[in-house]
Amino acid sequence: MTIEMLGRMRGEVDPDDMGRLARCCTHARLPQTPAAAGYRYYDLGGAAPSFYLRRFRLGTRTAAVSLIAPVELSSGLDAERGAPALAQVVLSVGARPIPWHEVCEPDLFPGDSALLARAALQAVLELDLLTDEECPLCCD
């Protein structure tokens, strides 16, 4: 984590960003180059959807952003690894997924790291978040 990142995360969430989170349907476009954005791809096989995971770690504590069940933009089918796709965004603190309406200010439990939660939120804000109206997965 860079000093610049820490500086950005110390402040309150920008009101514009709060608005983006509130309007978002929980889907986002995958980053063009997920690996360069810090995401690793997981396909566990079976019925479990594939997902991308960006993890933040401080000692034994973690927070993460998952991009779950990517759907290919062109075909609407399950996306191949690295294909342009939409996915559901889930922020988790430790092993606990945070409900979307709380991602700005997650209820932290003893042992959770507020800094990691904020780092994960920053990663969510770096995504191209979709609204209900523009999201093809939600509007039909």
Interface contacts to Zn ion, rule CB under 5 A: 25, 27, 135, 137-138
Instruction: Please report how close the Cβ of residue 36 comes to Zn ion at its closest, in angstroms.
Output: 24
Name which of 87 and 119 has its Cβ closer to Zn ion. Answer: 87
- Give the shortest CB-87-to-Zn ion separation in angstroms: 10
Kindly tell me which of 25 and 79 has the beta carbon lying closer to Zn ion.
25
Q: How far is the CB of 77 from Zn ion (least distance, A)?
A: 17
Residue 37 vs 138, nearer CB to Zn ion? 138
The contacts of residue 56 (CB under 8 Å, 6+ apart) are 62, 63, 64, 116, 119, 120, 123
- Closest Cα to residue 5, out of 134, 127, 116, 79? 116
CB contact at 8 A, 113 and 58:
yes
Q: Which residues pair with 57 in a beta bridge?
A: 62
